Amino acid sequence: MRGVAGGVILGLPLIYTQEVWVHGATLAPTIILLLLGITFVLNLALSHYVGFEPGRTHRPLEDALVGFGLSFLLAFGLLFLLGRVDFTMTPENALGIVALASIPTSLGFALGNALAPKGGGKGAEEMAGGAGDLLAAAGGAVILSLNIAPTEEPILLAYQLDFVRLAAIVLVSLILSFLIVFHAEFGGKQGRSETPGAAHGPVVETLLAYLVAFTVAGLLLAFFGEIDALEGAGLAEIIVLSFPASMGSALGRLLV
Amino acid sequence: MSKGSAKGKLKRQRTAFEWTILLASVAVIVAILISLAFYSFSFKPGPPDLRVIVRPNSAEQGQYVLTVTNRGGTSAEDVAVEVSLGDETQDVEFRVVAKGDSEEARVVMSGDGQPQARIKSYKES
């Protein structure tokens, strides 16, 4: 789960990038193979020195294979959820897009262990508590969604996704952020589940953090002039941007 | 924790779940590499080969479905298509028509008859 979290956090910004969709479908398969080869070597090295579990660097080949294989599945799942690959496309083009998107995702797998230090980040103890958590959630949400908010992608995706896909995105945002914070065994997880407070029930905290991510996504889109109302296309854009924002909020909460 | 026990923990046997994940990952990697290798060998380089078809949309009066298909070995970007019916002309632009794929757009024309469509310009990827 820690590897999946790393993959989502590092992979999402590129999965939300039009150029990845275009180049995945236009690059020659030989070039994609070459890129995958280089990425695998990087994965092997990162799995040897960092890995996706504390102290687990003794089987770098096995971990690199697992990270690489699962990142294909994860990238496919996320691209399918966002409607960027489907079964009407030629398999060659769909495969190219998934393979290209899986590159940062697989690196996220291999770096999973380094994403949230054990015991939380520096000054984490001063931010502990309900308000501190929500502040960290907002900070993480801004960091991950700020580089997507001013781009065309949220608008493009919002116009193309139907109600079912949008509902699925909300559901996946909630489930993944819940799993990342409470089941990925990142550093900081131990302390947070022992801290008392209304926001520390896993379900309540996940819902509150999603609300924070949703608000951050809405405010960023409004600041950039992308939305003018909380309905229809505007609401769809916020839901689309809330996905990376909620992943950022999960990472932010792990650091406190 | 002693050095020996730490080493023992690291070298523990893989669980059934870990074996399953490992085997599934290897299967996915092999399938993707074989597919990409197959596409690499069967890849025929060449310029985009764009075909354009325009047909009436049976569900909507005055609306036409424009389909651009790329049968070439290279994707085409910024594909500009001109659709004309009598004196009326509409311009439609497609961001990308990937190699081997098709893209569709809807065009509304006020006149009667069968519109004509032609590719005006495109860029090779």
- Ordered DSSP codes for A110-166: HTHHHHS-TT-STTHHHH-SHHHHHHHHHHHHHHHHHTTTTSSHHHHHHHH--HHHH
Within 8 A of B125 by CB-CB distance, chain A residues are: 22, 26
pTM (2 decimals)?
Answer: 0.81
A178: distance to nearest CA of chain B, Å? 22
Within 8 A of B10 by CB-CB distance, chain A residues are: 55-56, 58
> Is residue A34 packed enough to be buried (19+ CB in 10 Å), middle (13-18) or exposed (0-12)?
middle
Interface test with A, best of B15, B28, B122 (most A CBs within 10 A): B28
ipTM, two decimals, is 0.77
- In chain A, count H helices and then E strands: 13, 0
The chain B residue lying nearest A36, using CA atoms, is B33
pLDDT at A134 (0 to 100): 83
Within 8 A of A73 by CB-CB distance, chain B residues are: 28
pLDDT at B1 (0 to 100): 41
Mean per-residue pLDDT over chain B, rounded: 85
Q: Which of A33, A65, A91 sits opposite B37 (nearest CB)?
A: A33
Q: How confident is the model at residue A7 (pLDDT cuts 50, 70, 90)?
A: confident
A to B CB pairs, distance under 8 Å? 84
Q: Which of A28, A69, A89 sits opposite B24 (nearest CB)?
A: A69
Does the beta-carbon distance from B101 to A93 stay under 8 Å? yes
Within 8 A of B37 by CB-CB distance, chain A residues are: 29, 33
Average pLDDT over residues A143-156: 89
Contact residues of A toward B, CB < 8 A: 22, 25-26, 28-30, 32-33, 36, 55-56, 58, 62, 65-70, 72-73, 89-93, 95, 99
| pLDDT tens digit sequence for B1-13 | 444 444 444 556 7
Question: Is the dihedral angle over the CA atoms A89, A95, A97, A98 positive or is it negative?
Answer: positive
Within 8 A of B45 by CB-CB distance, chain A residues are: 28
pLDDT of B26 higher than 70: yes
List phi, psi (to 5°) of B106: -105, 140
Average pLDDT over residues A131-149: 86
pLDDT at A123 (0 to 100): 61
pLDDT at B5 (0 to 100): 46
The chain B residue lying nearest A92, using CA atoms, is B39
Average pLDDT over residues A215-219: 94
A115: distance to nearest CA of chain B, Å? 22
Q: Which two tokens stand for residue A160?
A: 């193309």
A189: distance to nearest CA of chain B, Å? 22
Q: Which two tokens stand for residue B117?
A: 């469509």
| pLDDT tens digit sequence for A49-87 | 877 666 665 678 888 898 889 999 999 999 999 999 988
Contacts of A25 (CB under 8 A, 6+ apart): A89, A93, A94, A96, A97, B75, B96, B98, B99, B101
